[in-house]
Amino acid sequence: RPGLSTLAVAALPPYVLLPPRHPLAAAASVSLAELARSPLLLINLPQSREYFLSLFREAGVTPTVSYEFSSLELLRSMVANGHGVSILTTRPAVDRTHDGKRLVCKRIKGRVAKQPVVLSAPASNASPLIAPILSVARSVIAPQ
């Protein structure tokens, strides 16, 4: 955007999120074609929705989106309770939902585009706070 400068924080690889009893939960990794055979629960946040759908387009498959959510935790709970599968980039420290259900996370087979995470600031403001904020953001996000 005009007037904003952006600084790269990280580039996060997507992963598959499954309920424990899903047939793909035992696989070492999952292709997007395999994932598209199950109802997809999609996060609907700015840029995220289009990013995830673009991964399927690039793989030449069309998923059946059953539900869209603006809440990451609601989406995770719906997956854990067997209502579908999902694909995400941010991963909490534990693979359990707020209601205590377990989730299974799997690597995606093949090459997929990572989701960039950027920090934006007014281009005209060369604040000395930008560098420490960027450092903290990278230390929190990058270890995923």
Domain containing 65 equals 12-114
Within a domain: residue 128? Answer: no
Q: Sign of torsion, CA 48 53 57 61? A: positive
pLDDT digits (tens, 9 = 90+) for 71-105: 999 999 999 999 999 999 988 889 999 999 999 99
- Which residue has better confidence, 128 or 64? 64
In the chain, count of helices (H) and strands (E)? 4, 8
Q: Which whole number is the average pLDDT over 38-57? A: 95
pLDDT for the residue numbered 143:
57
Residue 139 in domain:
no
Residue 144 lies in a domain: no
CATH of the domain at 57: 3.40.190.10
Mean pLDDT of 122-134: 75
Q: What total of structural domains would you count in the chain?
A: 1
Query: Is residue 41 in some structural domain?
Result: yes
In a domain, 2, yes or no: no
- pTM score of the predicted model: 0.84
Q: Which amino acid is present at 106?
A: K
Residue, of 7 and 30, whose pLDDT is higher: 30
Report yes or no on 78 lying in a domain.
yes
Residue 89 lies in a domain: yes
